[in-house]
Structure 1
Amino acid sequence: MNMVHAQTAKPTAWPEVKKEMRPYTRWWWMGNAVDDKNTGRLLETYSKAGFGGVEVTPIYGAIGYESRYLQFLSPRWMSALNFTVSKAKSLGMAVDMNTGTGWPFGGPQIKSANAAAKLIIQNYKLSTGQTLPDKITVTDAKQSKAGAPLQALTAYSDKGEVINLLDKLSPDGMLNWKPASGNWDIYAAFSGKTLQQVKRAAPGGEGNVMDHLSKQAVDVYLKHFDEGFGGKSPGIGSYFNDSYEVYGANWSPGFFEEFKRLRGYDLRLHLRELNSNDNIDAVARVKTDYRETMSQMLLDNFTLNWTKWAHKYNSLSRNQSHGSPGNILDLYAAVDIPECETFGSSKFDIPGLRRDSADVRNVDPDPMMMKFASSAAHVNGKPYTTSETFTWLAEHFKGSLSQCKPELEQVFLAGVNHVFFHGTTYSPEDIQFPGWLFYASTNFVPDNSWWPHLNGLNTYITRCQSVLQAGKSDNELMMYWPIYDAWSNPEGIDMPFAIHGIDKWLHPTNFYKSAMELQKAGYAFDFVSDGMLEQSSVVNGQISTAANAQTRKVLVVPQCHYMPLATLDKIIQLAKDGATIIIQQLPQDVPGLNDLDARRTKLKSTLATLNFTDAGNGVKQSGIGKGQILLSEDIQKALQLKNITGEALTGTGLKFIRREIPGGKYYYLVNHTAKVIDTNIPLNFKAAAVLIMDPQSGSYGKAIANTANNKTMVRVQMQPGEALILKASAAPMQTAAWKYIGQAGAPLALGNGWNLHFTKGGPELPADEKLNQLGSWTESSDPKTQSFSGSAEYTTTFDIPANKAADYILNLGKVCESAHVYINGADAGIFWSIPFSARVGQYLKPGKNTIKVEVANLMANRIRYMDQNGIQWRKYHEINFVNINYQPFDACKWKVMPSGLIGPVTLTPVN
């Protein structure tokens, strides 16, 4: 628990709480086996735990409960949804909904004609006078059965001739053509099918995955919902689409026509380049054009189309664009709420934070990847960026609330301001422990032994999000994403920008390197696409991207080889209008194939108009109109030339994100280092007063701060694992002072004798014990403790001297895994994360005092017991249940997890 630094919170210090400030959770409806009684009970349970909403996602079901299943979008299912929305509304909660079951979008309404498609190219060879002996038809039996029509037939000679042979094909598929001379390669392009079915589908949602590139397919898909809704809005807050996992879908039957319309030439005549992986210019250019076309089709026919459909029902669209074979910045920007995700766990230097190598996936979430979603929101003035949070945070049943905290904070620092837990499984009351569970979630379910302490995490999130949703983002730089450099990769055909592929398309790039260096130096920035730049303008020397978005001081263009003429022209126009542009290296070429020579000539002539002079320190400058373009390999030197500095507070190891509010700024600070930070930190803001706000305890007070040279120095004290919020105000504030921790006295060790009483859990409650010293309860002589998961109370008494100190810090030491503390009968708070300490002086009295520590452990030990004893608890259709490496789950060989209050528990007097 974060250390409580000041007096009890006042309601006026924090923004008024709205449901969107609370975390939401993905609510897996397993087999759609839902009923009003259980729905009402569960929503009340979730509300009490601090959730502000649920996202209904129907999924595969448990075996043996088929009689309870409801067919997706059937009248009975709609009745269940309507009750859910009504009940949630009565509790002040929201209901979001996946526009489908499982993922990706598809179902029984998607017949073969509208199913996800893939390009199949077959190659034939002919020499002088030869004819093909066989019909030109797709050779794959499954594709033949699906009906893969031939869409192009192109011949290439060894002399460079290219001929369209489609009109030389007889109705029976025979080629009525033979070359007069030379050697020829013939490429036949068929519109095939991926044959992918909806993954993890719920009853009534099974079927083909739809063709996301086809407006006809998307319209057919959404019409099924219109029919289910019966023309009435169900009252859904936002409709959700998961990450793009339409495997192998690199085509659509109308692709050739769209390509010619958008790119200006016939792709049918370039099948050889499209089918090649050779590292040659023509291949790279055709594939760039192909990928850009696919991106535009996905944007127009799916993303914008689906969003318009959601608006028809007075709802919003919420989309995970990552994984899409398109410009994910533009795809994120096209929806109302961009959503990123965390997958796996990160390594932090926080002492005592458990991260067992056997229990984590071999993947580290990268906050820079998350910034694609938040950038789209910030640049376009959208109020929310959401995240699917905690997917595979740890092995099943081993994830703790303390492990959630730094992973969550990393998401906030990346610009997310509304988290969705992954997740909570709908489990009826009659289902025994551990209830129904989803195979990839951190289990935020009432059966989880630490559920009674979840409100600690949720309250922390709510306070953080109340600040992170306030005002506007405050990132002074925009950074151009050179997508055409990525698209020009000659390997493969389509290019999905997936989180599991960032080692290929993101990490090796100069764009990523520059972003990491700027972030380390304390600069705050968002990424922009070519399309986002096109909509930008200049207002009073700053770049404006949307009416309700913040303006930016500088556009940074990292090193890129390819740049469209329209983008270069726009950059120059922004400079003419008064903007400052920093370019690492002038673009070398234009992307794409059509009209190439003319566009290259125009690029050279445009660049020639930029007359650069030496500005010193390795920076060149070109004054254009009211603004200027700075050319520098070192971006930071160019920024310094404009007197734009990063937040020097990052030199302490602190991480931050800022929000701009009327008359001031919020700084969200996190200490993910291994060291205590007790120092004066500088803020790039001239403040008359600074309020320190503790998002864990809710306490606040006026900081020790002074201002000089338009910067403010603020004293902060932060333990490893702690977070604070600074509210820097241009106006004075009449608030009580923040009480810093001064000199500490000798710690008092609590508990010469503890009483241990097991209160709730199973499979059986162990017997009460008297403890001379603290340790894992699994080391007790009672064998029941080895298999027990649940809660236990530790109680003891201690004496406080008559000359009571100004305050006392209670530190629980090591806790496995979370605790709720009561002192002299008063609630002293939930201790759910490192450093498991708080100021508790207000609860103490001179003389004898009593402390009760309610500790919850993990579910792991009970699951181990169940597997060792052959107790069946998992039996699901589809994937059933897997471990973190997607192998069949088995806890039999697990070691017993330490449990309980390990300590040492100390009470330290402080000034």
Structure 2
Amino acid sequence: MERTYLEQLRQPAAAARGKTRWWWYGCRVDKDNISYQLDQMQEAGIGGVEIQILYALEAGSRENLEYFSPGFFDILKFTGEEVHKRGMTMDLTLGSSWPFGGPFVPFVKSAPVVYPYAIDVRGPSVFSYDFTNRMAGEIVGGIMGRMEDSEMLPETIQDISSLLEEKLLFSWPWGTQLKNLEVPEGNYKIVIFLAGQFREHVLMPSRGAQGYVIDHNDAEASRFFFAQAGTPLVERLGRGMVQSFFCDSLELFGHNWTGKIYDEFEKRRGYSLKPYIYALWGKVKGMTEEIRYDFHKTMSELTIENFFSVMTEWCHEMGSTSRIQAHGTWGDILQAYGAADIPEGETFSEWDKYSVNTVHRRLASSAGHVYHRHIISNESFTWLRFPRFTETPEQIKIAADSIFVDGMNQIVNHGYTYSQKDGEPMAFYASSHICHTNTWWKYYKNIGRYINRVCDFLQRGEPVSRICIYLPQHDIWAENPLGDIHMCMKLEERLETSVIDGIAREGYWFDYVNDDVLGRWEEYSYETLILMETDRMPVKTAESIQSFAMHGNLVICAGRLPSQGCGLLQKDEKDKIVSTLFEEMRRQGNLIFAENKKDALLNILKQRVCP
């Protein structure tokens, strides 16, 4: 017999209990303290742990366990058994700390950082140049083109890669030189593109876990990482011991390239990137934004296919699920989150008040809704107060409410710091101190019970959104030069926090949507689509929006109508189709135009849509 709501509230499902990140400094842990702390968590209503092993507090201590040493595997297996004994769950961050990498990652599978080395020359002349000791790294391209009004003229671009020669020192490869390049008349720019030899390493790892971060666009690099950092763990711990393997936020500093980009770009976009690579930093006349769009679109597809999806596939092979924080990626953010079994957002800073958190929460929950993920988790209470130890249970409870209102239905505390039972209290630098060494810990069980009830209630239901907001990701790709674009931050800056928060405060619940969702709009319950700060979109998306409107749904465009297609090939034709479709919708009354995305948009919503 089905339980009543009151019975559910009195006895919420154990699976919906809150979880916590569990910091293990240098893997300096012992079995007695592990058992003690798990007892503390269980009593406080915490239903699962996410172990993240990071830097040692005393680097020289012999008690620090070497990464992947026999003692390392032994203590993890013991912990998993103790966790399961108590009816709790264990999640694990692969490697040590974040992003994914380690000592086994060779340079060729690490995350490339490409930058230009430019020289201005005037012709007619014959030009030679010795790059030796003036730049360090692998040359991935070289072009020369005539400049006019600070733009490179596309018809003058030459690929000069074949003219670059290796320079030897006593028969050893030492550098690169350019010899006898004929420069035509006029002002020219030579640009050599380098994949630098200095690349990101894992941030704050434990002993023995240092090393390069992997190329997140390369499936071979991803598979190699999971085979080295993950499969041995499963072999020793057993399938099912780890419920979810966790990927923390993608803090990929400078990662902007992949070795397969030329082949993949041409295959996916239909033309060669090599002649036009300068557009990624400078301007190529009449082509800059289209080439940048095509490049970032390609990188997006590679990242989602070759990292996010590969991680989930590997987790399933190991009998586990994937839990992924996708913020930090340059890719289609909803697809990136949606590739995970459990998309996870994040909350940091003073969020013990409600405001829509686009960057770290609403995008994650929207992805969970549109890709039908039952659990949407949230790394919670990071930096809730600074200095540390000043956050209160009241602030934590209110912060949890703001997380729930943004659509998340699983709390992961940030977090619980491993400390010796009778030793000095330890605390992670960015974490709220939610563990047994806090003076108010004995009261946390009240919050734990509350979190369990709310999460259980939310997980039993289905999200219902009648309004959706289109993400102008194509414009961000087109307008940004080469870099490790943080798509979530760029979207919030473009849409504006005050605008999105204003919509929510008027009582309008909404999801963010992308092209994939609009292409299948009949599968969803949306009745109103809002477009703002959108100039570009694929022709197929414009056609889907027209179909959405013709079936009696409301389309609101704020500020301006979309007027451009996406990408370099057939640009004029695509621009005309997109522009014509939206002008027709406006003329036929299938679209309402708002003069701005603030007051005018809200007034139309109030007139036409019930909160």
Same topology, TM > 0.5:
yes
How do 1:22-421 and structure 2 match up within 5 A?
22-63=17-58, 66-136=61-131, 139-140=134-135, 144=136, 148-158=137-147, 160=153, 161-172=156-167, 173=176, 174-224=178-228, 225-230=230-235, 232-233=238-239, 235-276=241-282, 282-346=287-351, 348=353, 366=357, 369-394=360-385, 395-421=387-413
Contact 1:341 1:388 survives alignment (8 Å)? yes
**Hey, what does 1:523 align to over in structure 2?**
508
How do 1:299-698 and structure 2 match up within 5 A?
299-346=304-351, 348=353, 366=357, 369-394=360-385, 395-430=387-422, 432-434=423-425, 436-490=426-480, 493-497=483-487, 502=489, 505-509=491-495, 512=497, 514-534=499-519, 536-538=520-522, 544-545=523-524, 551-576=525-550, 579-584=553-558, 585-607=560-582, 609-610=584-585, 612-613=587-588, 621-622=589-590, 629-633=591-595, 634-635=600-601, 639=605, 644-646=609-611
Structure 2, unmatched stretches of 5+, are 168-175
Return the alpha-carbon distance in structure 2 between the equivalents of residues 557 and 181 of structure 1: 48
**Hey, what does 2:170 align to over in structure 1?**
none
Return the alpha-carbon distance in structure 1 between the equivalents of residues 257 and 359 of structure 2: 30
SS at match of 2:415: strand
SS at match of 1:79: helix
Contact 2:49 2:91 survives alignment (8 Å)? yes
Measured against aligned partners, the alpha-carbon deviations of 1:793-850 in whole angstroms (never above 9, x if no partner) come to xxxxxxxxxxxxxxxxxxxxxxxxxxxxxxxxxxxxxxxxxxxxxxxxxxxxxxxxxx
Once the 2 structures are TM-superposed, how far is the Cα of residue 421 of structure 1 from its aligned partner?
0.7
Going from structure 1 to structure 2, the CA distance change for 1:214 and 1:367 (only over 3 Å counts) comes to: closer
Question: 2:143 is aligned with what amino acid?
Answer: T
Once the 2 structures are TM-superposed, how far is the Cα of residue 609 of structure 1 from its aligned partner?
4.7
Return the alpha-carbon distance in structure 2 between the equivalents of residues 201 and 338 of structure 1: 24
Measured against aligned partners, the alpha-carbon deviations of 1:238-274 in whole angstroms (never above 9, x if no partner) come to 1111111111111112222222222222222123321
Contact 1:197 1:206 survives alignment (8 Å)? yes
Return the alpha-carbon distance in structure 2 between the equivalents of residues 637 and 473 of structure 1: 26
Measured against aligned partners, the alpha-carbon deviations of 1:774-795 in whole angstroms (never above 9, x if no partner) come to xxxxxxxxxxxxxxxxxxxxxx
Contact 1:533 1:567 survives alignment (8 Å)? yes
SS at match of 1:155: strand
Return the alpha-carbon distance in structure 2 between the equivalents of residues 202 and 18 of structure 1: 36
Return the alpha-carbon distance in structure 1 between the equivalents of residues 242 and 124 of structure 2: 66
Return the alpha-carbon distance in structure 1 between the equivalents of residues 361 and 267 of structure 2: 33
Contact 2:254 2:483 survives alignment (8 Å)? no
Once the 2 structures are TM-superposed, how far is the Cα of residue 186 of structure 1 from its aligned partner?
1.1
SS at match of 1:44: helix
Question: 2:224 is aligned with what amino acid?
Answer: V
SS at match of 2:130: coil
Contact 1:164 1:269 survives alignment (8 Å)? yes
Return the alpha-carbon distance in structure 2 between the equivalents of residues 636 and 11 of structure 1: 38
Return the alpha-carbon distance in structure 2 between the equivalents of residues 600 and 208 of structure 1: 43
Contact 1:169 1:176 survives alignment (8 Å)? no
Return the alpha-carbon distance in structure 2 between the equivalents of residues 77 and 612 of structure 1: 68
Contact 1:386 1:418 survives alignment (8 Å)? yes
Return the alpha-carbon distance in structure 1 between the equivalents of residues 14 and 180 of structure 2: 69
Contact 2:128 2:180 survives alignment (8 Å)? no
Once the 2 structures are TM-superposed, how far is the Cα of residue 104 of structure 1 from its aligned partner?
0.9
Return the alpha-carbon distance in structure 1 between the equivalents of residues 160 and 24 of structure 2: 53
Contact 2:471 2:491 survives alignment (8 Å)? no
Once the 2 structures are TM-superposed, how far is the Cα of residue 586 of structure 1 from its aligned partner?
2.5
Contact 2:256 2:482 survives alignment (8 Å)? no
Once the 2 structures are TM-superposed, how far is the Cα of residue 533 of structure 1 from its aligned partner?
2.0
Contact 1:118 1:251 survives alignment (8 Å)? yes
Percent of aligned pairs sharing the same letter: 27
Structure 1, unmatched stretches of 5+, are 1-8, 350-363, 539-543, 546-550, 614-620, 623-628, 647-911
Once the 2 structures are TM-superposed, how far is the Cα of residue 574 of structure 1 from its aligned partner?
3.3
Measured against aligned partners, the alpha-carbon deviations of 1:415-465 in whole angstroms (never above 9, x if no partner) come to 1111111111122335x232x332221111211111111111111111111
Return the alpha-carbon distance in structure 2 between the equivalents of residues 490 and 23 of structure 1: 39
Measured against aligned partners, the alpha-carbon deviations of 1:602-659 in whole angstroms (never above 9, x if no partner) come to 334444654734xxxxxxx23xxxxxx44445445655665x300xxxxxxxxxxxxx
Return the alpha-carbon distance in structure 2 between the equivalents of residues 409 and 347 of structure 1: 8
Greater gyration radius? 1
Question: 1:466 is aligned with what amino acid?
Answer: D
Measured against aligned partners, the alpha-carbon deviations of 1:195-217 in whole angstroms (never above 9, x if no partner) come to 22211101231111111122121
The structure whose residues are more often helix, as a share, is 2
Contact 1:60 1:200 survives alignment (8 Å)? yes
Return the alpha-carbon distance in structure 1 between the equivalents of residues 45 and 586 of structure 2: 59
Going from structure 1 to structure 2, the CA distance change for 1:10 and 1:381 (only over 3 Å counts) comes to: closer
Contact 1:163 1:269 survives alignment (8 Å)? yes
Contact 2:101 2:213 survives alignment (8 Å)? yes
Return the alpha-carbon distance in structure 2 between the equivalents of residues 109 and 641 of structure 1: 60
Question: 2:142 is aligned with what amino acid?
Answer: L
Once the 2 structures are TM-superposed, how far is the Cα of residue 115 of structure 1 from its aligned partner?
1.2
Once the 2 structures are TM-superposed, how far is the Cα of residue 473 of structure 1 from its aligned partner?
1.0
Task: Figure out how many residues of one structure are paired with residues of the other and give that number.
Answer: 585
Return the alpha-carbon distance in structure 1 between the equivalents of residues 492 and 356 of structure 2: 13
Return the alpha-carbon distance in structure 1 between the equivalents of residues 562 and 285 of structure 2: 19
Question: 1:183 is aligned with what amino acid?
Answer: N
Contact 1:344 1:365 survives alignment (8 Å)? no
Question: 1:591 is aligned with what amino acid?
Answer: C
SS at match of 1:284: helix
SS at match of 1:46: helix
